[in-house]
Each structure stands twice: as structure tokens, then as C-alpha cells.
Structure 1
Amino acid sequence: MRSRTDPSQGRSPLSMSCLRTALMSLSLLFAATGHAQTSMCGSLASSYGPFDFRTDKDKLPIVTTAHFTPEVEALIRGTTSRLPGGDIAYTLRAIPNHHGALIAIVRLGEKEKTDKPHGSTFTVECWFDRAIRFRADDQLVRMIYADYLIKKQREADARAQLDVVKTLAADNAFTHHNLGLLLADLKDYDAALLHAHRAMALGLSHSALRDKLLAAGRWRDPVPAEASSAASAASQ
């Protein structure tokens, strides 16, 4: 196939200015079809990392010992500045799915009554966007995010995150237990009870979810016939 710019075809070649205009138009179209959020919340590229909080254990101490100290996590003070926001932000740039740092940035936003705490590069929600882009299968990130959304009274968005967690939960008893706690916060007590029974069937004896359902008057002990059906239903 000959190029439309082939002089042998008797056609005028495209000018460089036209080509640049066409490429710019394609770039704008690309940005408009779902990539605006990525741009708004920044690239995941980092001077150190990014590393996975769950698996890159040997890479984490150089960040956490210098930036995510107990004082920073407790929001008492920073290590590189007076306030902790900058150090939490550095931690999340290097380790986007650092569970403790995500919880800390949420708490700092609540403490300062702002969506973008002092020293934070991005808004609190952007840090969740980045963590999920980095590792979409991290169930705990999505549950921390769902808890944040519930507190913001964004029930539909919280449920969307929990729906993903349900597909990833498999036979993880702790995940089912924590899912049940969040569903109880949403007052979806039937679903919470289902995950409570599933966690029990998997051997988890924690009583927090049971106590929560008891306080709401919605606890019911599983019967033998329900055990297998709860296992199947919860996983779906």
C-alpha cells in the first residue's frame, strides 16, 4: 500500500504543521476517553519505586524508616518537615498501596478538615486512585477506600469497591470478616451475615462482626444446611 504522501501518485504531501495538528487532535481525543483521571492524579513513576507493599518487603525499610515513622503514622510530627503530610506523601509515591500510609492520609485529611492535607501532593482520593491503578487486586486497599467512601456518604461508590473485593475474597476468612463489617456499616445486614457465616466456616473466631450484628438485632447462628450455601453465595 502506497503512502498518500508519495509524490509518484501526484498528490501533495501533508505539511508538517498539518501533521502536528492531527497528532495533537489524537492526543486530546485519547485524554478525553478515560485518561483524564490518570493525569489529574499523576504518573506512578517515582524516583524510588514504586514498590508493592505486600511483596517488595526488602525495598520498604529505606522508605519507612526515614519517612513513615511511628510519629508520622500517629500524625504527631513529620521527619523532613514539621507536619507529617509530606512524609506520608513520599511514602505513598514510593509504595502506592502502603495500607498504613493510606489510613494515615485519610486521618490527616479528617484532622485538618480538608481533602488535600498540608504537604500532600494529591487529594486523599487521588492516593486511592493511584493505589488501585498500581495494584488493582489489593483487597485491603479497596476496603480502606470503601470505608473512606462510606464516611463520605457515597454509598454507591463504596459498594462498587466492595463488589470487586467480593470477587477477590475466595477463601480468605479475614477478607470475608472485614467485608461483613463494611456491609454492616452500609446497613446491608443480610449480606454482612452471609460473610460472617463464611468467615466462621473458614475457621475465623473473631467476634467483632458478630457483635456488630448482635447490636443491630440481626445476628443469626448458622445452621448446618446453611454452611455450604453460605460458602458458595459469599464467594459469588
Structure 2
Amino acid sequence: MSRRILCLGFLFGAMLSSPGWADELPFQCGPLSNAYGPYDYRTDLSKLNIVEIAHFTSDVENLRKGVQSVRPGPDLNYTLRAFPNHHRALMSIVRLGARDKSDKPATGYTVECFLMRAEAFRPDDPMVKLIYGIHLLNQGKSKLALVKLDDARELPLESPNFFYNLGLAYFSAGHYDRALTSAHKAYALGFPLPGLRDKLKRAGKWKDPEPVLSDEGESKEVEPPKAEKPSL
């Protein structure tokens, strides 16, 4: 009897200490609990390979075909159940919805639900909020998109890829000042592609960043860090 009480007490304590996912998701978006996971795309790297090899292939990511079926939807569904905040899979499901002009291009949930699940699972992940903002822009919901983009900008992340894509999203929303700030940040961090700068130049909105002053008040060159490979 005492052993049974101990086990029940442990279970009750675990329930109290678990994240309040169910309170943050509408019923139609389902539970986040999963047979494998859910795992954090940013940190649970040891669990990632087994899912990506079996389900998130290059063909699936680029929406050419699936592994489980002809279409990539079921494999994206599996990937996002195991890793709700899988950045590249989220971007693929957003692109699949836009391509197929469907709110529910995959088995399981709508595109909006996959994004809500990711945000509920890891509200501190700025890439999730950025991708959510991109989806809302695709839907023509500019005001809601800007809320997500601004939320993403407020979270700490020193990534040239992040700021480049954030700048592209702000540009699409017509907020050129924020796009310019994001562009300056991306290029200062070493982002290699000129696309965002070129867009701002064609729109007449590009301005060179202010020079960085040394302690003596003189301008100086800043060596950018090595750029990471763009992923979105």
C-alpha cells in the first residue's frame, strides 16, 4: 500500500510540475504529448537524427514527395509531433499550405495549429514566432503578423539568418524602418546574401549603418563573425 501511495504521489507531483500546454491550446489542436517526444529542436539534438532520417528527408522538406506516402504531409505531421518547434519543418508546412492553398495540407492539424503547438511548447523560441509571423503575412493578416514579428525581435538570439528573415518579413509588411534595422543586424553578424539590402535599395529605403566609434571617438572597422548557413 505504501508503495502504491508513493507512486501516486510521484505522478501527482509530475502533473503539477509539467508545462501547462493543455491550457494554452484549443481543443482542435490536440495534446502535445507524443509517443516519441515532444522534444526541443534547439537542444534535444541526440533525438533529432532518428526522426529526420526516417521522415524529414530533403524530398519532404522541399515538398517533392513523402516517405510514408506520395505526399509530404504525413511525414511533416510526424516530424512536428516529435519536435513541435522544428524550424525547417514548420517552414515546410507553411509553404505547403501556401502552395496547396489549403489550411490543412497535412494529416493531423491545420497550419495554424502546428504553429500554435510550437509556440505553446516553446514560447521562448524566436524562430517559431518569426515563422508564425511569415504565415500570417501569407494570410494577409498584417497586424497580427507584426505582433508576432515584434515578439520574435524581443527574444534573445544573435543569429544572422534570423535577422535576415525577420527583415524580409518586415519588408513584406511594409515596415521598412524595422526591415532596415534587421538588415543592419544581419549584415553586421556576417550574413552573406545581398537580397534584403537590394530590396531596400530598390524601394529607396536603404541607409548605410552608422560607423562604430572607438573609445577615442574614431570610426573603426568591425570584423563580422563567420556567417551561418541560411536555413529559411
TM-score band, normalised by shorter chain: 0.7 to 0.9
Whether contact under 8 Å (2:137, 2:145) holds in the other structure is yes
Matched residue, 2:42: 54
**2:169 aligned with 1:187:** no
- RCO greater where, 1 or 2, for CA within 8 Å and sep 6 or more? 2
Measured after TM superposition, the shift of residue 178 of structure 1 is 2.6
Whether contact under 8 Å (1:169, 1:176) holds in the other structure is no
Measured after TM superposition, the shift of residue 85 of structure 1 is 1.0
| Equivalent residue in structure 1 for 2:51, among 60, 63, 88 | 63
| Equivalent residue in structure 2 for 1:101, among 80, 84, 89 | 89
Whether contact under 8 Å (2:24, 2:120) holds in the other structure is no
Whether contact under 8 Å (1:169, 1:175) holds in the other structure is no
**2:163 aligned with 1:176:** yes
Measured after TM superposition, the shift of residue 84 of structure 1 is 1.7
Higher relative helix content: 1
Output the CA distance in 2 between the equivalents of 1:78 and 1:211: 35
Alignment CA distance shift 1:36-1:176 (3 Å): closer
| RMSD after superposition | 2.3
TM-score normalised over the length of structure 1: 0.73
Matched residue, 1:157: 144
Alignment CA distance shift 1:202-1:109 (3 Å): closer
Count of matched residue positions in the alignment of Structure 1 and Structure 2: 193
Alignment CA distance shift 1:94-1:225 (3 Å): closer
Query: For residues 121-164 of structure 1, what are the alpha-carbon distances to aligned partners after superposition, in whole Å with 9 as ceiling and x for unaligned?
Result: 00001000001111111111211111111111101111111111
Output the CA distance in 1 between the equivalents of 2:201 and 2:52: 39
Measured after TM superposition, the shift of residue 177 of structure 1 is 2.9
Matched residue, 2:101: 113
Given residue 88 of structure 1, which amino acid in structure 2 is its aligned partner? Answer: L
Output the CA distance in 2 between the equivalents of 1:62 and 1:225: 45
Given residue 57 of structure 1, which amino acid in structure 2 is its aligned partner? Answer: L
Query: For residues 166-207 of structure 1, what are the alpha-carbon distances to aligned partners after superposition, in whole Å with 9 as ceiling and x for unaligned?
Result: 211454444333322211111111222222233344454542
Alignment CA distance shift 1:92-1:171 (3 Å): closer
Alignment CA distance shift 1:171-1:53 (3 Å): closer
Matched residue, 1:212: 199
Measured after TM superposition, the shift of residue 65 of structure 1 is 1.1
Matched residue, 2:226: none
Output the CA distance in 2 between the equivalents of 1:205 and 1:67: 30
Whether contact under 8 Å (1:88, 1:105) holds in the other structure is yes
Matched residue, 1:167: 154
Structure 1 segments unaligned to the other structure (5+ residues): 1-33, 227-236
Larger CA Rg, structure 1 vs 2: 1
Alignment CA distance shift 1:204-1:71 (3 Å): closer
Matched residue, 1:123: 110
